[in-house]
Amino acid sequence: MLFRQWQDPDSCTFTYLVHCPETGETVLIDPVLDTAERDLEALQTLGLRLTYTLDTHVHADHLTGARRLRELAGSKIAFPAADDLPCADIHVREGEVFRVGNIAIHPLFTPGHTDHHHGYLIDTPSHKLLFSGDALLIDACGRTDFQSGDARTLYRSIHDKFFSLPDDTLVYPCHDYDGRRVSTIAQEKTRNPRLGGGKNMDTFVAIMDGLDLPYPRKIDFAVPGNRDCGRCPDNVPPEFSAPCKRGDQG
């Protein structure tokens, strides 16, 4: 398996490349519209063709690159079936393996940040890789104060689906704002300020209720745009519109 981790500098979103060398199939997990052309160029440099894009959820802080990449590379859009997006080509569900060539990706239904959020687990002979989306971050977790978020639901998702994995499982989140790139389940269970050290649900809910975070600057256009697989809606402010003007949005 070939693996790469790239980041969008504006939203601090990580995009993950997973490639099956035996079949030539490739997936980008959580692609970003702003970096779609950059990512395609990197794929071409590596001599790879893009087969799929796969999102963890309907993002509120950036537009997905899924639609743009489908237009430019002919890739298929995979998305959690629970979101029921007509623009998606493939609908993934927990309990149904999503295959990229010989690589098995296991969807994990983990609501709480959003009501249809999924993480993705790859079990290799040497280690497990968890793409935790926004549900579990490094020393943090996703917000629960918008988009059908619910702190109690997120607590159960993380404990039941993520913290039940082996301690040495590698955790690759959708974002990090402090230059970190990977964690482990053991590290998050031990020292995550919101969840670690055996914090109970009531403590977690109190922490989440007290965060007082600012209103997401892109949510008003990102959510409707992402429900259309990354099509730019008409209300994108001028300061964020440059990626929309590159290429045909259909």
Q: How many domains does the chain have?
A: 1
Residue spans of alpha helices (H) in the chain: 36-46, 66-73, 151-157, 185-191, 201-209, 219-226, 242-245
Question: What pLDDT was estimated at residue 46?
Answer: 98
pLDDT score of 249: 38
What's the pLDDT at 19? 98
- State residue 250's pLDDT score: 36
Angle of the 36-46 helix axis to the 66-73 helix axis, nearest 10 = 50
Domain coverage including residue 151: 2-216
> Is 236 within the bounds of a domain?
no
- Tell me the pLDDT tens digit for each residue of 49-102: 999 999 999 999 999 999 999 999 999 999 999 999 999 999 999 999 999 999
Mean pLDDT of the chain: 97
145 to 14, 205, 214, 216, 225: CA distances (angstroms): 22, 11, 10, 11, 20
Average pLDDT (6-32) is: 98
Distance between alpha carbon 196 and the CA centroid of its chain, in Å? 22
Asked if residue 221 belongs to a domain, the reply is no
Q: Report if residue 235 sits inside a domain.
A: no
Whether the CB-CB separation of 63 and 93 falls below 8 Å is answered with no
The Cα–Cα gap between 51 and 8 comes to 21
Residue 248 has pLDDT above 60, yes or no: no
Asked if the structure places residue 240 within a domain, the reply is no
Interior/surface letters 183-192, b for 16+ CB within 10 angstroms, e for the rest: bbbbebbeeb
pLDDT above 70 as % of the chain: 98
Residue 249 lies in a domain: no
pLDDT digits (tens, 9 = 90+) for 103-139: 999 999 999 999 999 999 999 999 999 999 999 999 9
CATH number of domain containing 160: 3.60.15.10
Mean pLDDT of 197-208: 98
Tokens 């959020």, located at residue:
117
Whether 229 is in a domain gets the answer: no
Looking at residues 149-165, what average pLDDT do you find?
98
Supply the pLDDT for residue 246: 76
Nearest residue to 181 via CA among 196, 195, 171, 192: 171
Average pLDDT for 170-192: 98
Rounded distance between C-alpha atoms, residue 173 and residue 244, angstroms? 26
Asked if the model's pLDDT at residue 43 lies above 70, the reply is yes
Give the pLDDT score at 247.
53
What contacts 40, CB < 8 A, 6 or more positions away?
A: 50, 69, 72, 73
